Homo-oligomer: A and B are copies of this chain.
């Protein structure tokens, strides 16, 4: 299942080893707030000039308030004779996120109300959160819980939930134009590799890439605690939103499943662009309609913002057995899968950046390609693979100031990059001009 884009060499490796970055981030305990998020963003910031923001607990933001900051040092369930059965140190999934501190001896029955297991996947630890639950809890393998038959246990969670701040990261690389592409991932999950260290690693590598290369558009990379992080960013950046022409939430991109793209709420160019890229990528994929569940596209696509933001995944949250369990680990995520995801997204970004509109200098009739060396001299020769001439004819026919390159590529059903090449040839030959952005009649 090697990457097989038709024209461009896309197997260029990302500047950062994606799998290594996932592995480096894996052990850290992350949550909506707290030191784990800061540590994670600190690692990202070694690669890009990440701006790190701290928003004070209690700050009002739209319909919400920034929550207390949660930090945890340890958590365990121990038999009275001192055997540690469940230990946060061995897996940070063991403690319900946002657990209050607790310390004491509980009967099994009392404890049970605080225990989360997966009876259908009895060897896995579930991932659970109780952000606004004012509760505490443990997550453990069902088999383990079944084997725990003592009458009482010693329980300890050494956490604190107190005023502090919520942390998020942002990195913006400006373009020639004011228009920009927004990319977003969540940074609030603990040791879960696919959901969503894959997104954090891809965003970091893509940010390095976009910062290094010539670009027409600006690129904004957001590393956000889910929901509240997106709401905070949106509320604080309303003047910027008008520039967001395309957006993408990146998540669950490290497993080996087929690609899934969930369309934006409003039906936008990004939807067509990704569908086009996936269609010509050689990868199995599926386009899904928008729905109001999922990741932070929920916030970007809320009716008051309604931004052109979709969500790119491989396997879809909630549909693969490893989802939100201890099986979403460094075995589940594959280096090759991460690289494939990277290649799809870089192709997409290159498409968006090059998706301009062209207009023929003289649109009446075909230009005489022969005298410009752009036509084979003996017209009868059968074409051998060389779709190039046909690409150029498509480009010249549709370069009417009303078709973006993407619209052309979709109508002609040929990969975008080949129309981009045609545009370059035609521009060099003086056959077309690029329509300035502010005169474009189309998006």
CB-defined interface of A393-431 with B at 8 Å, one 1/0 digit per residue? 110111110000000000010000000000000000000
A397 contacts which of B64, B131, B230, B303 (Cβ < 8 Å)? B303
**Chain B residues with Cβ under 8 A from A384's Cβ?**
none
Evaluate contact between A230 and B365: CB separation under 8 angstroms.
Answer: yes
Distance in angstroms between the alpha carbons of A379 and B188 in the assembled complex:
14
Question: A109 → chain B, closest Cβ, in Å?
Answer: 19
Evaluate contact between B64 and A365: CB separation under 8 angstroms.
Answer: yes
Residue A1 CB within 8 A of the other chain: no
Residue A438 CB within 8 A of the other chain: no
Question: A139 → chain B, closest Cβ, in Å?
Answer: 9
Evaluate contact between A298 and B129: CB separation under 8 angstroms.
Answer: no
**Chain B residues with Cβ under 8 A from A304's Cβ?**
360, 362-365
Distance in angstroms between the alpha carbons of A310 and B238 in the assembled complex:
46
Pick from A208-216, A245-253, A367-375 the stretch touching chain B: A367-375
Question: A18 → chain B, closest Cβ, in Å?
Answer: 27
Closest 7 CB pairs of A and B: A304-B363, A304-B364, A303-B400, A292-B397, A128-B380, A303-B363, A292-B393
Evaluate contact between A396 and B292: CB separation under 8 angstroms.
Answer: yes
Residue A63 CB within 8 A of the other chain: yes
Question: A346 → chain B, closest Cβ, in Å?
Answer: 30
A residues adjacent to B (C-beta < 8 A): 62-64, 96, 116, 126-133, 135, 227, 230-231, 234-235, 265, 291-293, 298-299, 301-306, 324, 360, 362-368, 370-371, 377-381, 390, 393-394, 396-400, 412
Evaluate contact between A132 and B303: CB separation under 8 angstroms.
Answer: no
When C-beta atoms are compared, the residue in chain B nearest to A395 turns out to be: B292
**Chain B residues with Cβ under 8 A from A362's Cβ?**
62-63, 304
A365 contacts which of B63, B127, B132, B398 (Cβ < 8 Å)? B63
Distance in angstroms between the alpha carbons of A390 and B365 in the assembled complex:
47
A135 contacts which of B116, B128, B377 (Cβ < 8 Å)? B377
When C-beta atoms are compared, the residue in chain B nearest to A132 turns out to be: B370
Distance in angstroms between the alpha carbons of A64 and B393 in the assembled complex:
16
When C-beta atoms are compared, the residue in chain B nearest to A306 turns out to be: B400
Evaluate contact between A378 and B265: CB separation under 8 angstroms.
Answer: no
Distance in angstroms between the alpha carbons of A296 and B70 in the assembled complex:
69
Evaluate contact between A303 and B360: CB separation under 8 angstroms.
Answer: yes
A399 contacts which of B127, B234, B303, B379 (Cβ < 8 Å)? B303
Distance in angstroms between the alpha carbons of A397 and B307 in the assembled complex:
13
**Chain B residues with Cβ under 8 A from A381's Cβ?**
128
Evaluate contact between A302 and B378: CB separation under 8 angstroms.
Answer: no
When C-beta atoms are compared, the residue in chain B nearest to A289 turns out to be: B411
Distance in angstroms between the alpha carbons of A305 and B365 in the assembled complex:
7
Question: A288 → chain B, closest Cβ, in Å?
Answer: 13
A364 contacts which of B235, B324, B393 (Cβ < 8 Å)? B235
Evaluate contact between A126 and B380: CB separation under 8 angstroms.
Answer: yes
Evaluate contact between A363 and B302: CB separation under 8 angstroms.
Answer: yes
Question: A318 → chain B, closest Cβ, in Å?
Answer: 8
Evaluate contact between A292 and B394: CB separation under 8 angstroms.
Answer: yes
25 A-B residue pairings within 8 Å (CB atoms): A62-B362, A62-B364, A63-B368, A96-B378, A116-B380, A128-B379, A129-B380, A132-B370, A133-B377, A133-B378, A135-B378, A231-B365, A234-B364, A292-B394, A292-B396, A293-B393, A298-B366, A299-B366, A302-B363, A302-B364, A303-B360, A303-B397, A304-B360, A304-B363, A305-B363
Distance in angstroms between the alpha carbons of A298 and B301 in the assembled complex:
43
